[in-house]
């Protein structure tokens, strides 16, 4: 075992100019991607290129300038990564909709407007939330808020079911997915709750022994309450009532990660996983959409699951509609088509994948940018996550440690759930790639998470105030 690493503060450097250069590069890549798509598809420069350049590029630069003033010590890598991911998503949506003239399923313009709103919200959070630790004052209030948000789609009248999952709310002018915001609220609540209950969760235990060997440190039954509540909520509400497997998986996974960080006890993970998968196994025979997803995942290439045209017209086969695995399998075909370097933006046919603009936008990137492009995207997301974890390591307050690692893991796990589903590592559950996916709620929540991380990194990296030197100067005390 190596000696414990001392809790070093991050180097007090600003590197704001580096951030500017990288942000400019991300903007340039976005515009270049649009130009390539326009030239390949239609043989002309995108007519709205200037508008996108000014709005998207201008706003990203504004965000940078804003950070210079209000969070000058924050991590310089985060804004460029977010700009790149958001910009690539924007360019791909433009290529899928505007460049092909099929704007009935969505448009890059609305995504651009949502990006603007998200960046504004990002700035507002950085400006108003000077000390993220103030959030731990009202854990239960925030918990109630999170639960309210999660249950909102169940209210008749405003709740909507899309593609089988009841996770949408009709807000009149637009539709929202409140679970995207609830998950952030939940991380705030868990951070606060676990910091205060940390000792009892991690210390009180009874040991399970076989002979002389310690197998597991089991928590006391009464300390299991938060686990039980979380478990019940994820299974009963999300899986059974709302058919929202993605959110359920995401929230429970994040919960387990956070309780592990708080207690450093692996028994919590063992218990949590056993309870979650046990419930899944028990529910399997009764919840049909559950079975459908498992079969789709395990047996995607079975003709009767895929339902080829041949089977659709064959009266002896079971197929009456096109099969459940068509999207998954066609997504894999799109990835295979892309190969190492891809067809180039605009050069492929991502439209072969049904609903490609949503979760499956990853396959469109795979087809047109190839393995190379996907690696860039995945590494950018990985870098963002690891920078977030670095904040958690450097922070001094326990709440911030919990909060930063929780948000970072949320981003990582969300990426894994959606991309793993699309590439058949795990069953498809439905989630959104942070920053990239189409949709207001997803984009807003991504930028909110980014704002929180950057604010925390600013506070963690800011050098401590110098002690008063006897040089006659007046000490300026600022908050």
- Given the rule CB under 8 A, which residues bind other proteins? 5, 7, 257, 260-264, 301, 303, 306, 308, 329, 332-333, 335-340, 349, 352, 366, 370-371, 374-375, 378-379, 381-382, 385-386, 389, 392-393, 398, 401-402, 405, 408-409, 412-413, 415-416, 419-420, 423-425
Minimum distance from residue 334 beta carbon to other proteins (Å) = 8
Contact 406, 387 (CB under 8 A): no
| Cα 309 to Cα 306: distance, rounded to the nearest angstrom | 9
Q: Exposed e or buried b for every residue in 287-311, given b needs 16+ CB within 10 A? A: beebeebebbbeebeeeebbbeeeb
Minimum distance from residue 425 beta carbon to other proteins (Å) = 5
Of 143, 193, 144, 117, the residue nearest 445 (C-alpha): 117
Contact 120, 58 (CB under 8 A): no
| Cα 150 to Cα 458: distance, rounded to the nearest angstrom | 31
Q: Name which of 97 and 306 has its Cβ closer to other proteins.
A: 306
Minimum distance from residue 362 beta carbon to other proteins (Å) = 9
Minimum distance from residue 241 beta carbon to other proteins (Å) = 28
Q: Name which of 64 and 461 has its Cβ closer to other proteins.
A: 461
Q: Name which of 288 and 349 has its Cβ closer to other proteins.
A: 349
Reading the block at residue 195, the tokens are: 């910091």
The beta strand positions in 42-91, using DSSP E, are none
Minimum distance from residue 159 beta carbon to other proteins (Å) = 32
Q: Name which of 7 and 467 has its Cβ closer to other proteins.
A: 7
Q: Name which of 119 and 369 has its Cβ closer to other proteins.
A: 369
325-330 contacts: CB < 8 A, separation 24 or more? 325/296, 325/299, 325/300, 325/301, 326/354, 327/353, 327/354, 327/355, 327/360, 327/428, 328/296, 328/297, 328/300, 328/422, 328/424, 328/428, 329/300, 329/301, 330/354, 330/363
Q: Name which of 321 and 469 has its Cβ closer to other proteins.
A: 321
The beta strand positions in 139-261, using DSSP E, are 159-162, 165-170, 175-176, 205-210, 213-219
Q: Name which of 57 and 246 has its Cβ closer to other proteins.
A: 246
Minimum distance from residue 117 beta carbon to other proteins (Å) = 29
Q: Which DSSP string do the residues of 319-336 spell out, in sequence order?
A: -SSS-TTHHHHHHHHHHH
Q: Name which of 56 and 403 has its Cβ closer to other proteins.
A: 403
Helix/strand/coil percent split, the chain, to 5:
65, 5, 30
Q: Name which of 131 and 310 has its Cβ closer to other proteins.
A: 310
Minimum distance from residue 437 beta carbon to other proteins (Å) = 16
Minimum distance from residue 430 beta carbon to other proteins (Å) = 17
What lies within 8 Å, CB to CB, of 37 at 6+ separation is 46, 91, 94, 95, 99, 345, 346
Minimum distance from residue 363 beta carbon to other proteins (Å) = 10
CB-count exposure of residue 465 (10 Å: 0-12, 13-18, 19+): exposed
Minimum distance from residue 18 beta carbon to other proteins (Å) = 23
Q: Name which of 219 and 366 has its Cβ closer to other proteins.
A: 366
Of 255, 279, 271, 275, the residue nearest 215 (C-alpha): 271
């Amino acid at each position: 075992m190596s000696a414990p690493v001392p809790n070093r503060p991050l180097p007090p450097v600003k590197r704001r100019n580096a951030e500017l250069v990288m942000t400019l590069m991300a903007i340039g890549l976005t515009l270049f991607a649009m130009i390539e798509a326009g030239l390949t598809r239609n043989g002309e420069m995108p007519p709205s290129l200037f508008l996108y350049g000014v709005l998207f590029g201008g706003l990203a630069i504004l965000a940078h300038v804003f950070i210079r003033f209000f969070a000058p010590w924050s991590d310089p890598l985060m804004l460029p990564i977010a700009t790149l991911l958001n910009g690539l998503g924007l360019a791909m949506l433009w290529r899928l909709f505007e460049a092909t003239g099929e704007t009935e399923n969505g448009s890059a313009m609305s995504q651009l407007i949502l990006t603007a709103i998200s960046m504004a919200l990002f700035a507002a959070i950085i400006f108003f939330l000077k000390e993220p630790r103030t959030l731990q004052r009202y854990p239960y209030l925030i918990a109630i808020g999170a639960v309210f948000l999660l249950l909102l789609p169940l209210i008749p009248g405003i709740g909507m079911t899309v593609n089988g999952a009841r996770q949408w709310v009709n807000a009149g002018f637009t539709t929202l997915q409140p679970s995207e915001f609830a998950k952030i609220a939940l991380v705030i609540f868990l951070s606060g709750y676990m910091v205060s209950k940390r000792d009892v969760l991690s210390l009180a235990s009874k040991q399970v022994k076989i002979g002389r060997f310690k197998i597991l440190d089991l928590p006391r039954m009464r300390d299991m309450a938060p686990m039980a509540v979380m478990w019940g909520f994820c299974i009963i509400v999300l899986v059974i009532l709302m058919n929202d497997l993605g959110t359920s998986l995401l929230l429970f996974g994040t919960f387990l990660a956070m309780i592990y960080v708080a207690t450093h006890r692996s028994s919590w993970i063992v218990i949590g996983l056993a309870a979650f998968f046990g419930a899944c196994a028990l529910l399997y025979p009764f919840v049909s959409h559950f079975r459908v997803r498992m079969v789709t995942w395990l047996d995607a290439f079975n003709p009767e699951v895929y339902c080829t045209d041949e089977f659709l017209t064959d009266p002896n086969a079971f197929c009456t509609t096109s099969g459940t695995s068509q999207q998954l399998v066609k997504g894999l075909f799109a990835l295979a088509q892309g190969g190492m370097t891809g067809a180039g933006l605009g050069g492929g046919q991502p439209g072969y994948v049904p609903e490609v603009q949503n979760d499956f936008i990853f396959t469109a990137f795979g087809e047109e940018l190839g393995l190379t492009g996907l690696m860039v995207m995945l590494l950018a997301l990985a870098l963002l996550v690891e920078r977030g974890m670095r904040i958690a390591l450097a922070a001094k307050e326990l709440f911030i440690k919990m909060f930063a690692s929780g948000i970072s893991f949320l981003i990582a796990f969300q990426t894994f759930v959606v991309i793993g589903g699309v590439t058949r590592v795990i069953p498809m559950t439905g989630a959104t790639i942070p920053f990239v996916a189409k949709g207001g709620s997803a984009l807003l929540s991504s930028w909110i998470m980014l704002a929180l991380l950057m604010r925390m990194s600013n506070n963690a990296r800011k050098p401590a105030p110098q002690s008063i030197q006897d040089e006659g100067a007046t000490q300026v005390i600022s908050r």
